[in-house]
Structure formats: C-alpha cells, structure tokens
Structure 1
Amino acid sequence: MGNEKGTVAVMDEPEKLSYRDYDLPTPGQGAVLLKVLRSNICGSELHIWRGQHPTKRRGVLGHEMIGEVHVLGEGVETDYAGTPIQKGDRIVSAYYITCKKCAACRDGHFHLCEHAYDFWNQQPEVSPHFHGTFASHYYIHPDQYFYKVPDNVSETAAASANCALSQVYFGLDKAGITYGQSIVIQGAGGLGLNAAAVAKEKGATVIVVDGVESRLEQAKKFGADHTINFNDYETLEDRTNAVLDLTEGVGADFAMEVAGVPAAFAEGIHYIKPGGKYVTIGNVTPGKMVEFDPGLLTRKSIQIIPVVRYNPWYLYKSLKFLADTQGRYPFDEMIDAEFSMDEIKLALDKSAAREVTRATIVMK
C-alpha cells in the first residue's frame, strides 16, 4: 500500500508498552484491512497485562473493537451475513479464526477451533503486523467472521459486541434459559451487565450479585430485578438464604459466573435449585484453585456449562440485539473512561487498579 504506515502498541513484557510503525499491508483474497475506531479494555487484556496469561507474554493486545473498512481484499463484497460492504463501512469482527477443518470445527464447535489464535499470537514483526486492535489498523483474515454494524447502533455499543455481549448471549442460549425462569449473575462488570440485559429480554427474573454498590446500581439499568451486595452478608449461608428468599425458597433455575474469581465458582452451586444449570465464563486462568463441594453438585444434579469464546454467528445476533433494543438499556454508559492511543498504558494500569470499570481507547 505504498508508503502508508500504521502504528501498533506492543506489550514488550507484562506492564511494559512501546509503539512501532509498519507499512500497511495489502489484504489478500478474502481478507479486510480495517482502520480501528476504538478498542475496549476487556478483562482478558488485564490478565495478559498482569502476566497471568498461560502463554501470551508479549505482543499486540486488543480484541474488543469497532473499525471501518480501509481496504477490501479480492473477492470480499459482503460480510458473513451477506450484507454488501464498501470502504468506510463500520465493521466488527470475531477476534479469532474459524478454520472449519479441525476436529472441533468438524464437530460443530466453531468456538473451540484449534486455530483460533494462530494470528493473534503472532508477534508484530511478523506480517501482516496488525494482529491486535490496540493499533491504528487491524487485519481481518479469511475465515474470520465479520459483520457490518447497523446504522442505529452507536460506535460505543458496537465495540463491546464482539466479546462480552456475544459470549454471554452464547452461554445463555447453551443453558436454554427462557421466559419465567430465574438466574443469578455473579459479577456486574461488562459481562454481567450484558448478561442481565439478554436474560431480561428472554423473560427471566434476573438477580445480580456483586460487591460494588455502583455496579449493582448500574445492573438495575440493564434489567436486574434484584441485586445482592455480598458485603452485606457475612457468610455463604446468609448469601444463599438471600437468593432463596428471592426464588420462593427453592433457588435459581440458573446461575452464571462472570466474576473471574475461583471462590465465586465454588459458591455459585449453592444458589441453584436441584436440577438447575450453571454457566461459568469468568474464570479463564488455569492453575487457580478453590475448595469445591462435588457432593453437593451431585446431590443437586446441577449441570455445569463452561463457555469460552462463542460460535461466530453470535456476533451477528448481538448486533441485531443492540439494534432491536435501542434505547432500552444504556449500553453507551458501560464505558466510564476514554483514552487516546498514546495513553494505552495509562488505561491498562487504571483498569488493573480498578480506578475505572470499563475503559475504551479511541484511535481516531
């Protein structure tokens, strides 16, 4: 692409960041080059930034984003829903590859593709350089689903669709929650707020548990019927009784762990009625242990549903959800801090210190 250059923010090691410039690549057949508009800081980035990821110790971070088409590769005329696209259109993409050929893909588990992170794990010096979205541009590879953003969906709301919203939507569908049922959501961060809205739209009674009152107040705006501040209860038994009081004494039909704390996972089965289901999403770092009561799990016959990533067409469902519920939930308010591209380290540090709840990096 001539002498046109772009910039990537590189984590050289945990909590150390630098910037590098590279020539913009010409997208190959089936690929797309985006100009990044904004990229959010997700909990996954914080795990990596703190050095807690099992494999990624350096490289370009960022995956939760919205961009606009900069260059279309040969043969790319529509998104993965068949909608025509052109330069300047706003796009969100799944942040992983779906090869459709590995054992997981052959079994229909596209979210578990063995090649999901083939490019995300590449270092920036490896072409096409723009592997993450903490950058001026982002390269979408063939077999990486992407969709045009509906006109009535804001840039801020759409930026969260390709991770938080799609993942909890996928998890709730796997669990099969429906009208008239109840769910306890453990954690009122980005995942929890999105989950509350989706569960509410499915007709469920939503109970959100967290230890930060401001988060619980926001959860009410996203559909929570009841909130429980666990700091108000001294023991697990007290918190369980609080859930029982809200569920006619039997416990919730479902629970979803999005707190990312092992102790929350161990506690969740106490909230669920016999025969219920437990979706766990937040605990993603292997090796963190917690005491667990397998006998209680068996006696209550609770089904545990672990979820990582999502089948990529859920990104399209999420965009439709945002378009159809416009004005019903304050998705634009989920972001409480904006930073510029040269402030990425500051944004990561403040997010890791919990000085901000959900930060976004504005690249333009």
Structure 2
Amino acid sequence: MDPLSSRLTTAAIWVGGSDIELRQVEIPDLADGETLVRVRLATVCGSDLHTVTGRRSGACPSILGHEAVGEVVAVGAATTAVVGQRVIWSVTVTCGKCARCRSGRTAKCESVRKVGHEPFHGDWPLSGAYAQHIILPRGTTIAVVPPDLPDAVAAPAACATATVMATIDAAGDLRGRRVLVVGAGMLGLTAVAACAEAGAEVQAVDIDPDRLTTAHRFGATTADTDPVDVAIDYTGSASAIDAALRRLDIGGVLVLAGSVAPTPPLPVDPETLVRRWLTITGVHNYEPRHLRRAVDFLVRTVREYPWDEVVAEPVALTQLGAALHRPPIGILRTAVAPRL
C-alpha cells in the first residue's frame, strides 16, 4: 500500500551550469521491483561539482545526487525492501544477467544505469537524490541503515565509503603494510580511517593543509619519503600518481580511483614494473558487497572518528545551487535535506 497523501513531489532539476529549477513532479505507479524512497538527507559528491562546472558531461536536464539516505514509503511487487526502513542505495542499477554481471563486475554492467545521472525527460525522471522522493528500479542494491548511524554519517556511504571499500579490496591484505593515501577529500579521509582500522600504517598527502590536519584526526601520520607497500590515489592528478608510483617498494600495489576525467599521460617504465614486481589497478564504482561493508565500517567507527563534523548542516532544496560549490574549510561534504 502506498501511504502517500499526494502523487506529487518536489525535485531540484539541474538545467545547466549551476542553474537549478524546483519543480513539482508526478510520482508514477511503481512497477515490479521498484522502491519509492523519501529522501531524508543527500550529500554533494565531488562528481556532481564536476558536472555543474563542466569538468565532466552529464545528462541535462536531470536530477543530480547519488549519495543519500532515505525512508522506504512504498514498494512494487517482488521487492525485498520494507516500508518504514531507513536505507541507502547503490549508485549503479544493473541487469544481473549480462556477462559482466555474471563475472562479478556488476559495476560495469553492459546496460548499467546510474542514480543521479539519468535524463529527466527519459523513462526514469525521479532518478536523483536532490528531490523529496526517488524511485529505485529493480537492480538497485539497497542496504538498511542501523538506528545508531546518523543520516549525515550514512549518506556518503552510498558513494564515497563504498568506493573506498572497493579500493581496499583491490589493495589486498593491509595488516602491517605501509599505505599512502593520495588526496584527503571525503574518499581519502575515509580510506585513511579504513586502512588504519585494517592494521596499516597510513600516510596521507594533499595540497590542502587543512585537509591534512583533518586526516590526522582519522588516523593518518605525517607523510614522508620512505617507501610504501600500497598507494591509493583519489585525485586523478598525473603528477601525484607519478610521485606515488615512485614510492612503491618491491611488490608494491598502486590503486587508481580518482582518474575519472582526461589527464596528461602517465609515464610508466615497463622494465621498472617487471623488476620491482609492481601492480597497477583501477577501481570505478563498486559491487553490492562494498555497500554493505561501508555500512558495517561506519557502524564500527561512528564513535571513534568525528564523521559528522566533516558534513555541513543541511540546507533546503531552494539553496541547492549555492551548495553545488566547494565546501567551506573543514567541511568535506555539503548536504541537502529535501523536506526542509
């Protein structure tokens, strides 16, 4: 049963540049496998900032936003979600049937669709989190949020925290390893804490001294020039990646997660890779298990690290345009509460 008193919801439509239009949007009847969620809080991912500034292309007009937490208010047939649950959901919507999905690479599903990336005038207009409601199609991974996890801590799990879990998977066992985290934004900060929890000695580098100060509160030590066993890059900067690669010790692993836009080529000497037994791998998006691990990780560390302090007090949808800019000093995520 759908408990909605109205079939209309308010959504912030991105129409180009930093321009946002608030519109009343009809909530359609749910198809089999679909879930309707009332958005409680959405955080502004760096990729959305890249979209509105033109650094990357995106469907326009559209409803942006893919880091969020909400409450299930209605479900279609053959849906496992339960009305009343507080949940987060995956960025990717997958078919589960293609060769990539069957091989465990659902993030690269041959027909993948993405929350907060779809055209408003397509067949899935309520696809982004900068709205009072979002529809999650069949193929979306949904994770229940425990009561003791605040909205501001849970929302970034849907992208930043889950992506970090995927990069740690790619890095391998970190116990007793020397890890270099390149970039101390939300992903880097999360990686610092996750690597420290995994038993690693963690160093962090960033061009922003304020972010480095925050990283130290989450378990980072001061970076130096000593060799490291693992380097994880969240910046996408060719020069930063080159510097990290040069620091890898014998058998070292370099995980790239920030290279999601064109950059200058990275010079790599094949002989160096061979003689030093180095591994370079990339991670883009994540698998369902990583979303669940993200929630578990935050539950374990919610009282150990000040996660809520790096997320700004939420603003209303009417102020979304102003929120789509780099956060103020000391803040790594701005936030929007669509029902304010």
TM (norm. structure 2) is 0.92
Amino acid at match of 1:59: S
- Residue 8 of structure 2 is aligned with which of 1, 5, 20? 5
- Indicate how the Cα distance of structure 1 residues 170 and 350 shifts in structure 2: closer, same or farther if over 3 A, else same: closer
Indicate the RMSD between aligned Cα atoms, in angstroms.
2.1
Contact 2:37-2:73 at 8 Å conserved across structures = yes
- Residue 227 of structure 1 is aligned with which of 197, 219, 222? 222
- Residue 359 of structure 1 is aligned with which of 329, 334, 337? 334
Q: Which residue of 2 aligns with 1:25?
A: 28
Cα deviation for residue 14 of structure 1 reads 2.6
Contact 2:61-2:120 at 8 Å conserved across structures = no
Q: Which residue of 2 aligns with 1:236?
A: none
Q: Which residue of 2 aligns with 1:343?
A: 319
Distance 1:274 1:155 in 2: 42
Distance 1:293 1:130 in 2: 43
Q: Which residue of 2 aligns with 1:318?
A: 294
Contact 2:49-2:326 at 8 Å conserved across structures = no
Distance 1:328 1:73 in 2: 39
Cα deviation for residue 338 of structure 1 reads 3.0
TM (norm. structure 1) is 0.86
Query: Percentage identity across aligned positions?
Result: 28
Distance 2:115 2:325 in 1: 26
- Residue 188 of structure 2 is aligned with which of 180, 192, 211? 192
Structure 1, unpaired ranges of 5+: 80-84, 229-241, 245-250
- Residue 78 of structure 2 is aligned with which of 56, 65, 75? 75
Q: Which residue of 1 aligns with 2:225?
A: 243
Distance 1:57 1:127 in 2: 14
SS in 2 for 1:274: strand
- Residue 83 of structure 2 is aligned with which of 86, 97, 102? 86
SS in 1 for 2:211: helix
Contact 1:48-1:57 at 8 Å conserved across structures = no
Distance 2:149 2:123 in 1: 33
Q: Which residue of 1 aligns with 2:139?
A: 143
Q: Deviations over 1:297-353 (max 9, x none)?
A: 4443321110000011211111111112230111111213532211111011344x9
Cα deviation for residue 194 of structure 1 reads 0.7
Cα deviation for residue 181 of structure 1 reads 0.6
Q: Where do 1:276-287 residues align within 5 Å?
A: 276-285=252-261, 287=262
Q: Where do 1:159-238 residues align within 5 Å?
A: 159-224=155-220, 226-228=221-223
Q: Which residue of 1 aligns with 2:304?
A: 328
Q: Which residue of 2 aligns with 1:234?
A: none
Alignment of 1:113 onto 2:95: no
Contact 1:93-1:147 at 8 Å conserved across structures = yes
**Greater mean deviation of Cα atoms: 178-187 or 259-268:** 259-268
Q: Which residue of 2 aligns with 1:100?
A: 96
SS in 2 for 1:206: strand
Q: Which residue of 2 aligns with 1:254?
A: 230
State how many pairs are aligned.
Answer: 335
Contact 1:48-1:56 at 8 Å conserved across structures = no
Amino acid at match of 2:94: T
